[in-house]
Chains A and B, each alone.
Chain A
Amino acid sequence: ETGVTQSPTHLIKTRGQQVTLRCSSQSGHNTVSWYQQALGQGPQFIFQYYREEENGRGNFPPRFSGLQFPNYSSELNVNALELDDSALYLCASSLGGTGVSYEQYFGPGTRLTVT
């Protein structure tokens, strides 16, 4: 059973640019969530995808967008990068289902630095 993987590991971008981060969910998991973890803080929920549909969103602007593919892998896209977007971006996968609770398994994260 493979765990959650993310790519790239590190990324440096310039303010105003766009970035795409990728996540492969754990085998058998159909739900992917994205979190932003600023230095010294706990992760903050960005959004979640369940069976290729957005299934919840945190307090992030529309320039944060995502996709989930039929194989349940996912992308996080951030447009018009700002300095405050510098953070560790975490992907987590879980099983899904309406009204059902499952634990989430996290990937190693992508460290994004915006200069």
Chain B
Amino acid sequence: AQSVSQHNHHVILSEAASLELGCNYSYGGTVNLFWYVQYPGQHLQLLLKYFSGDPLVKGIKGFEAEFIKSKFSFNLRKPSVQWSDTAEYFCAVSPTGRRALTFGSGTRLQVQP
């Protein structure tokens, strides 16, 4: 069975700081990778996804993630965070061709103005 680890449970940044959230997964086959975001009081929204091709994927709101197959990682990045990025971020993985997602435990990001 696959598993997902998110190393940072709670991150506090000032506005304009750069962001990198770590995500590692364990699974022996090919995978699809996702980052979801949950803003306060809102439902889970898809931030970006990787299915195949270019390992650097761009998502909404200036976020991007890089799939490094050799490291089983899919880290999320943003060059300059805003107060509105305060939210919980979840990394998720599914084996290619299946739709059941395995989520990490989430990273709570707090951006201070």
Residues of A within 8 A of B (CB): 31, 33, 35, 40-45, 48, 55-56, 58, 90, 92, 94, 96, 98-109
**A45 vs B46: C-alpha distance when bound (angstroms):** 17
Cross-chain contact of A42 among B32, B98, B104 (Cβ < 8 A): B104
Q: Is the CB of A41 within 8 A of B106?
A: yes
Q: Is the CB of A104 within 8 A of B101?
A: yes
Query: Is B96 in the interface zone, CB < 8 Å from A?
Result: yes
Q: Which residue of B lies closest to A100 (CB)?
A: B97
Q: List 24 A-B contacts (CB under 8 A).
A: A35-B101, A41-B105, A41-B106, A42-B4, A42-B92, A42-B105, A43-B101, A55-B99, A56-B99, A56-B100, A96-B99, A98-B97, A100-B97, A101-B32, A101-B51, A101-B97, A103-B34, A103-B46, A103-B49, A104-B101, A105-B46, A106-B36, A106-B44, A109-B43
Chain B contact residues (Cβ within 8 angstroms of A): what range? 20 to 34
Q: Which residue of A lies closest to B96 (CB)?
A: A101
**A99 vs B34: C-alpha distance when bound (angstroms):** 18
Cross-chain contact of A90 among B44, B96, B98 (Cβ < 8 A): B44
Could you give, for residues 76-113 of chain B, a 1 whenever the CB lies within 8 Å of some chain A CB and a 0 otherwise? Answer: 00000000000000101010111111111110000000
**A42 vs B88: C-alpha distance when bound (angstroms):** 10
Chain B residues contacting A31 (CB-CB under 8 Å) are: 99
Cross-chain contact of B101 among A45, A55, A96, A108 (Cβ < 8 A): A45
**A99 vs B100: C-alpha distance when bound (angstroms):** 12
Q: Which residue of A lies closest to B41 (CB)?
A: A108
